[in-house]
A and B are shown apart, each in its own frame.
Chain A
Amino acid sequence: MNQAIRIMLAKVGLDGHDRGVKVVARCLRDAGMDVIYTGLHRSPDEVVTAAVQEDVDILGVSLLSGAHMTIFPRILKLLEERGGQDILVVGGGVIPDEDVDALKKMGVKEILLQDTPPQVIVETLRELVDARGPR
């Protein structure tokens, strides 16, 4: 049976609004995915707990606050500790070019910067899940 891709969208840190995330959530739903949105101001601990319970294929973490170099390693480590190591982590928001490579080396699968067109987001996520294979 062909299951819908499950994705969780999380906003970590102090950014004030979630208009962008909500737009992305609707695009992904319209592409046939199940989208879990956790709301604003979540901590890495909360996000990882939710992602593991929901057994999502993809955890999309969006941040504008510049704390990515500390938050992503924290999320990856917590996922590992809680048995969620096969959850694919994708970053979004505002992340400077020079950090993108470092994040990918750490284990973040993809970085989708703020102006990525919805169709590209959808295709990228599908490819990531296909490449992972069944689990």
Chain B
Amino acid sequence: MGGPLASAALLPRLYAGEGAAIARMLTRAEAATPEAREALAEIYRRAGRAHVIGITGVPGSGKSTLVGKLTRALRATHRKVGIIAVDPSSPFSGGAILGDRIRMSELATDPGVFIRSMATRGSMGGLARSTQDAVDILDAAGFHLILIETVGVGQDEVEIAQASHTTIVVSAPGLGDDIQAIKAGVLEIADVHVVSKCDRPDSFRTVADLKSMLAMGAVLSRGGWSVPVVATSSERGEGIGDLVSAIDRHREYLHHSGALRARRQRIAEYRMLKTAEDLLRRRFAASRAGRVADLAERLAARELEPYSAAEELLNSAFGSTYHE
């Protein structure tokens, strides 16, 4: 065995769509191995063709099951679909149970589908740190549509809207009182709303509640796009075709209105800022090491107050260049 294969050597196989090469590159991106950085840069330059669809909603709202059905319907249009399914890591052990895939078993052997599970590892906002690298990898490997299932969120984790071209928010009947289970901030990011499990009798109320909430918040239209509410049942296969056409209409709208450019810019900006924050955090962690214990001791002894202690820590980590 000649040791690990260089990431650059994976690229031709990845561009040819070879599963094992795609998979290994995803692993390297997740591990953030320095060795992989140049290969990821090349992938980034090459990517940018895929349409990225984010799917979010409270835990148990039926996201994974819907992704399975939706992907099957999208495959009927001969487009290749990449799926990134994010689940939360345990804050205690750092480990994770990644269970979204169970609900997508009907896609299990379709060569035009690639499914990858990712754990959040402490990342907030519903995505993992390397989710967007994963999008680029699948994009460069020739997948036309990339679906991202976020962790089940319901508060203000709206990061998915900064990572996708079309954001779908899934609400379901019977989870909490009504639509309140999902907060207004999350509703606002939707380009398409789905009310799932519409085989359940109480789903009519969910649809009505959602529509009236949207009417009140005046987020039924944005630019020239009016946000549709699609009722689906993964169990009965209902509404899936409507969802496919809502997605395609939104994609057309983005192209024709020029909104796509703005969206791409927003995604790029967000990604750059996030990467910069990440770098800053890592540099800080590496350079503060010697000072933390000593400053904390003086802070605990009340010789310092928290603000000056923090400032001194930053000064010693980044040099005296740090000033507010």
Contact = CB atoms under 8 A, between A and B. Distances in A.
Contacts of A26: 97
B90 A30 contact: yes
Contacts of B277: none
Interface in B12-47: 18-24, 26-27, 30-33
B259 interface: no
Contact of A39 (B90, B105, B117, B119): B105
B280 interface: no
B101 interface: yes
Interface residues of A, number: 32
B4 interface: yes
A122 to B, nearest CB: 10
B115 A53 contact: yes
B321 interface: no
Interface string A1-45: 101101000000000000000000110111111111111001001
Given A32-B94, A53-B23, 14 more contacts: A4-B95, A29-B95, A33-B95, A37-B99, A39-B102, A45-B109, A49-B19, A49-B108, A50-B108, A54-B116, A55-B20, A55-B26, A82-B19, A82-B20
A32 B91 CA distance: 10
A1 B117 contact: no
A9 to B, nearest CB: 10
A36 B90 contact: no
A40 B19 CA distance: 24
Main secondary structure of the interface of A (DSSP, over half): mixed
Nearest to B117: A36
Interface string B199-225: 000000000000000000000000000
A127 B272 CA distance: 39
Interface string A47-71: 0011011110000000000000000
B224 to A, nearest CB: 38
